[in-house]
Amino acid sequence: MSKTIARNDTAEAAGGTVFGVILAISFCHMLNDMMQSLLPAIYPGLKSDLGLSFGQIGLITFVYQITASILQPLVGLYADRRPTPMALPGGTLFSLAGLTVLSAAHSYWLLLVGASLLGMGSSVFHPESSRVARMAAGGRHGLAQSLFQVGGNAGQALGPLAAALVVVRWGQSSLAFFALLALLSGAVLWNVALWYRHHGLGRLNASRRSGGTTPLPRGHAARGIAILLALIFSKYVYLASLTSYFTFYLIHRFGVSVQNAQLHLFVFLAAVAVGTIAGGPLGDRFGRKYVIWFSILGALPFTLLLPHASLFWTAPLTIVIGLILASAFPAIVVFAQELVPGKVGMISGLFFGFSFGMGGLGAALLGWIADMTSIETVYRLCAFLPAIGLLTAFLPNVERD
């Protein structure tokens, strides 16, 4: 991987897109999110082995995601003021510790400790890696953000598949094997951190000096950020309904096996990964506002149909929902970065952290609703969340690079 980064000297000298760096952090994003997505992937086993309620499962997700939610903007703000390239490989140690604890946890409280350690790993990785993606973008910010994000989506899709093939067969202790992936990620990120220190900071400073976007009045920028956060809320609470409870929904409603349900979840998350690739480049070409319109509001007809679909139609509908919803996040992050120029780390941390927090709060609330009513009720209520996409009409216009 270090040789790949080194071969980008020509792009470096020209200030172009450094694909070696972007692909390196995308690969590490895949490893990071695959390790972390093993947590919801093993929920059915934890529920039966420890006798957990849906509410307790939701609280595990809440602890994991709220830890990252609170810390990510703080990490990003600190990085804007005092860049720390070696934080990237150092953060992988939290993920390694989290999976190690989860592999040996036989009490509910240890599960919460392991989940919080995973959240701390994400709190360092996401804002710093998003900064690196912008450093290496060479003006193609949407493309860079999509390539970075698709690594995470691929990792989220591989987590349930790994759980179906490995964890379901060999049990909770097999998570310790996946913890070793953190060491591989740390080695790659060490090389990325060296590029960050010697080249990335200079490129980012040069980009700031050359401008690229026209700063908006403070009130307009604040309104835009608030609207984008509302769109993140609708997207990630809906995604929480699928990532945390889709397997239970399929098992309860259609009587499928745990492995079959995990494969359905893998197909959905794979669709999310594919959809993410398109969102950033399309935003670069046609404007991010149009992509956000389509991505959030365009999913509404399909989310409304899902609670009433048969097993045969459930898979196609979730694929379409995943493809459409996934294109939003890269466009939203880059749009927000353009609203507040010069605060890449803080904005990245805010949006990654808020997405984690909303996913965690959504999982906890939806688990409580499922306990009080039924798992089917969760999907009937969540079907209306994409309607929040109508707020896109009030986003300010931002000049594209």
In tens, the pLDDT along 275-311 reads 888 777 777 777 788 888 888 788 999 999 999 999 9
Question: Which superfamily does CATH assign the domain made up of 2-209+216-394 to?
Answer: MFS general substrate transporter like domains (1.20.1250.20)
Dihedral angle at the C-alpha atoms of 35, 295, 303, 31, nearest 10 degrees? -10
pLDDT of residue 1: 54
Average pLDDT, stretch 25-34?
A: 91
pLDDT of residue 112: 92
In this predicted structure, the answer to whether residue 14 has a pLDDT above a threshold of 60 is no
pLDDT of residue 399: 52
In tens, the pLDDT along 64-90 reads 877 877 888 888 888 888 888 888 998
Mean confidence (pLDDT) of the chain: 83
Confidence band for 5, pLDDT divided at 50, 70 and 90? low
In tens, the pLDDT along 306-325 reads 999 999 999 999 999 998 98
Average pLDDT, stretch 378-385?
A: 92
In tens, the pLDDT along 321-360 reads 998 988 888 888 888 888 887 788 788 888 888 887 787 7
In tens, the pLDDT along 101-124 reads 888 888 899 999 999 998 898 888
pLDDT of residue 28: 94
What is the percent of the chain with per-residue pLDDT over 70, rounded to a whole number?
A: 91
Average pLDDT, stretch 124-131?
A: 87
Confidence band for 142, pLDDT divided at 50, 70 and 90? confident
In this predicted structure, the answer to whether residue 379 has a pLDDT above a threshold of 50 is yes
pLDDT of residue 143: 85
Q: Where are the domains of the chain?
A: 2-209+216-394
